[in-house]
Amino acid sequence: MKKTIKQGDKMEHGSINQELSLLRSAKKDLSWFNSNFGEIAKKNNNSFVAIQNGNIVSSNKSLDYLLDELKTKGIDPVKTLIKYVTTSIVVLH
């Protein structure tokens, strides 16, 4: 049986509205990241960056250390855009 999901319905980790809010926030942060990539790469090349509300809240060459830093700062990684920054060309085989 199919169930139609409506705005305000509850999900495992919160309401649809909360999930949509997270997606909108991530979209804005991704747009900010793309628009500012040159400046970000100058300071954070070959590193992971954590972005919230158009600000880099943490960066580290190690993803594990970045996640630890976020936890130390009380920042939920699930609610944070995390991107790897590199100016190198990466070829996947």
pTM score of the predicted model = 0.78
Q: Which two tokens stand for residue 31?
A: 């747009």
The secondary structure of the chain as a DSSP string is ------TT-EETTEEHHHHHHHHHHHHHHHHHHHHTHHHHHHHHTTEEEEEETTEEEEEESSHHHHHHHHHHTT--GGGSEEEEE--S-----
List pLDDT tens digits, range 19-65.
Answer: 899 999 999 999 999 999 999 999 999 999 999 999 999 999 999 99
Domain ranges in the chain?
13-85
